[in-house]
Amino acid sequence: MFTFKTIKKSKNSRARLGIITTPHGKINTPNISIIGTKGAIRGISFKKARKFGAQIFMINTFHFFHNNRFKIVKKFGGLHKFLGVDYPLMTDSGGFQVFSLGFGKEQGVGKIASIFPEESKNSISGAKFKNKNLVKIYEDGVEFISPYNGDRMFLSPSKSIMIQKILGADIIFTFDECTSPLADYEYTKLAMKRTHRWAIKCLETFRKSKNQVLFGIVQGGQYEDLRKESAKFINSLPFFGFGIGGSLGKTKKDMIKVLDWTITNLDENKPRHLLGIGEVDDIFNAIEQGVDLFDCVIPTRWARHGTAFTYQGRLNLKKSKLLSDKKPIDPKCSCEVCKRYSRAYVCHLLKEKEIYGIMLLVEHNVFWILKLFKEIRRALREEKFEVLKRTIIRKYQT
C-alpha cells in the first residue's frame, strides 16, 4: 500500500519532486504536514485545510500519551476514526516533548512555555518544576514528570511504537533522544548511540504493517562525524523513510551543512522528513539539500500571535496603523480571507481578543504555506526553483 517514487530531480541541487502513496491518499513532495497537535488544527477544520491542498497532518503522540487518551482512541479504532478524517496522518514519537522538558529546564533552551504554550498558563509546569530535574534517561527509556499534573511517567521506544500503532497514523517515527543545541560532543555521541539501539527496538516492536510505515530518525547534533555515522547506521536498517532530528547547529548555515552530511548518506530512494523546521528560508534551503517533507507549528503559532505570511514578508496584524488599512492581509493571496476581509477588520478582532480573528489568520497562514509548497513543486517541475527561492527568501531572511 505504501510507495515512494521520485518523479524528477533538479539539475542544480539535490531538490526533487516525489510522491508518497499511503492507504489514505498520496502526498506530493516537497510538502508540509499541517500540525494538529491534540487532534485538531488550532483554528480551522482538517477538512478546510484539506480543501486548501493539505495532504498530510501531524498529530503529537505525547499529547495522547501523558493523559492516557490513546486508550480512548483505541476504542474508536485509531486516530482517523476518532478525528473523523480519512486523510494521511503522521505521528511523532513523543521523544521531542519529553527531552525538551529535560534540557529546557536544565539549560534554559526550548522552554516549556514555548513547548506547551496553552497549558503553561494554567498548569503547574512553569512554577512548580522550575530547576527540577524533570527527565531521567535510562537504557530502556525515559522517566519524566508530567508538566500537567506532576505524575511520574515512563516512555520507551517500544511503548512509543505501541502507542503509535494504536493511534494508527500512516507514517510514524522512531523514539529517539533529541539532544539540546548546547549538548557537547561526548554527550551527543552517547545519546546518538542510544538512539541507534532504540531504533532497533522500535523496529522490533513495529514489525511489518500494511497500514503504517516507520521512519527512522537520524541524530548526531551539529557534529560532522556523528551525523554521518548516524545517517549511515539508520540507513542500514529497513525503515520506509528517514526523519532528521536533533540540533541542526547554531546558525541557519549550520543547518545546511548538517543536512548535507546527513542526506548524502541516506538512500535516495527513501523519503526524508525534517522534523519541526518551517521558517520560509529554511524550507527553501532544506529542499535544496534534498528534504521531501516538513512539519512546523509556525503557520498556526504565528497566527495566534497575530502574524501573517505575505509575499512581502511577515506582517504583524496587531499594529494599530493597520486599523484603517482597507487592503487584504496579502494583496497577492487568493484565500477566502484575503478575498473577503480587510487588514483593518482582522486587526480590530485581534485587538479585541476575538477568537474569530485567530481563526481568520490561521486560515490565511495555512492556505498561504500550502500554496507556497504548490509553487515550489511547480517551480521544480519547470526548473525555476532558484528563481522562486530568490524572490521569496529575501523577504523572509532572518
- 182 contacts a second copy (rule: CB under 8 A): no
What is the rounded CA–CA span in Å between residue 397 and residue 346?
Answer: 26
Task: Identify which of residues 152 and 326 has a Cβ nearer to a second copy in the complex.
Answer: 326
What is the rounded CA–CA span in Å between residue 363 and residue 367?
Answer: 6
**Residues of this chain, 11-40, that bind a second copy according to CB under 8 A:** 38-40
Q: What cell was used for 37?
A: 497537535
Q: Where are the alpha helices (DSSP H) in the chain?
A: 46-51, 62-65, 69-76, 79-83, 95-107, 112-115, 117-122, 125-128, 157-167, 185-206, 224-235, 252-263, 280-289, 298-304, 336-340, 343-351, 355-381, 385-396
Write each residue from 92 to 131 as x if it is in contact with a second copy (CB under 8 A), else as -, in one continuous string: --------------------------xx--x---------
Task: Identify which of residues 257 and 319 has a Cβ nearer to a second copy in the complex.
Answer: 319
Minimum gap (Å) between residue 232 Cβ and a second copy: 40
Give the interface segment with a second copy, choosing from 14-22, 223-231, 267-275, 348-356 (CB under 8 A): 348-356
Catalytic residue chosen out of the listed positions 86, 92, 254, 281: 92
Please state at what angle helix 385-396 crosses helix 280-289, rounded to 10 degrees.
150
**Residues of this chain, 215-254, that bind a second copy according to CB under 8 A:** none
Question: Is 92 a known active-site residue?
Answer: yes
Minimum gap (Å) between residue 352 Cβ and a second copy: 5
Burial class (CB within 10 angstroms; exposed 0-12, middle 13-18, buried 19+) of 303: buried
Catalytic residue chosen out of the listed positions 176, 292, 295, 330: 295
What is the rounded CA–CA span in Å between residue 244 and residue 169?
Answer: 19
Residue count at the site for a second copy (CB under 8 A)?
36
- 59 contacts a second copy (rule: CB under 8 A): no
Give the interface segment with a second copy, choosing from 72-80, 252-260, 374-382, 383-391 (CB under 8 A): 72-80
- 321 contacts a second copy (rule: CB under 8 A): no
- 331 contacts a second copy (rule: CB under 8 A): no
Catalytic positions, written as ranges? 92, 295
